[in-house]
Structure 1
C-alpha cells in the first residue's frame, strides 16, 4: 500500500458529464472514496482542475489574453477545491485547501513544509490554483506537488480505464497499455498529460497510475496496490 499519494482530478470529471458546474452527487461519491483511502492509513493530497468552469484555451477564451484566461482558470480550481473540501469534511475528516494564489479568507497559502505537516497530522490537503503561474496546466501542478510532498505515486483519475494508443471512444480497437514509459508517451504523442508534466515526472523518477474513476472503489483499489489502469514509469 502507498503511504502518501497525490491524486489528480480534472474539473470536467467533477461535472460528471454535464459539461459545466459541479455534480453534487458525484462529488460526494468521490469524497467517500477519498475518505475510504484515508481510513486505510494513506496520506492523500489532491490537485483539482477547473475545466468545468473555465479553461484557459477553451473557445470562450479564444479572444482573451492567455495570461488573463489562465488566471481565471486558476480561480476556477479554487471553487472546485472548496467544494471537495466541504464534501470530505462532511465525512468527519479534516481537510485543508492550499492555494498557489493567496486568498486568506478561503484557503491557506501553499507552503510545502506546512502541507507535509498537515499530512503528518492526518489531514487531507487539496492543492488549488495550479502552480500559480500562467502557461502551466494543472497536470504540471500535480507532477510538481507530487515531487514536493515526496508522494510515492501520482494517481491520475480519468474517464477511461488506462492509457490507449488512441482515443478508445473514437477508435474501438485501440491498444491499452498495462505499463508504459514516459519516453514512449512522448514518442507516441499519446496526450495523457502535457509534455511538461510528463518530462517532469520522467526526470524525477515519479511513477504514475492512470485509471478510471467511473468505477466506484477504484481509488481505494489503487491505493491498496491493486494493478488496475496503466502504470507509467521512467
Structure 2
C-alpha cells in the first residue's frame, strides 16, 4: 500500500454491509447528514465493481466500499485503499472515479508523482466508460466536449506537458482530462481488442506494485506490435493541442 492511501476515520456513521453479485464484501460508512445525497452513488457500488472487473480484470482487494464524511474544509475525494473517502455527498461519477482507482492508482501506483496521469487519466477514463455503460454520454461525446478536446488550441489547458505537469498542476484538470483523452486516442489507434488487453495487462502485470510512463509505453508497443513513439510524443511529452497522431 502506498502510504497516502491509508486512512483512519472516526465519527458517527451509518454503516451498511452488502456484497457485489460476484461476492465481494461491500462496507459503506456514511455521515447521517450525507445519506440521502449519496444514496444513488452508494446503490451503484456493486454494479461499478463488477463492470470494472469485467473491463480491467479481477478486483485487486478483498473488500470494497466507501467512507462518506461531512468535512467541508477538506473539499475533495481520495481513493483510499478499498474504501475511498468523500468529504461531502458522493455523486455517481465521482464514486466511479474513486473505485476505478482501486485498479489504477491503488493496486498499480505511480513510480514518481510526474507519472500522475497513470492514476488520474485512467480513473477519469473509467468514469467516462461507466457513464456510457450507465446510459449517459458516450465516451466519444465526452472526449469531444468543450471540457476536453473541444477546448481551443490557445487554451492554457494545452500548455503543460502531461507526462511531467509539475507540482502546481499535478491535481489540476490536466492529468485527469488530458490523461483520459490520451487513452481514448490510444484506443482509436490500437482498436478495442488490443486497447483493453493493454489495460488488463497493466493491472495484472503491476498488481500491488508501481510503474512508470515508460513501462506503459513499452506495454502498449509490445501488445500492439506498433512503434508508438510519435503518438506518445504528441500526447504526453509536447505542449500544444494534438491534431494528428
TM over 0.5: no
| Structure holding more strand per residue | 1
What TM-score do the two structures reach when normalised by structure 1? 0.32
Q: Which has the larger radius of gyration?
A: 2
What TM-score do the two structures reach when normalised by structure 2? 0.31
| Structure holding more helix per residue | 2
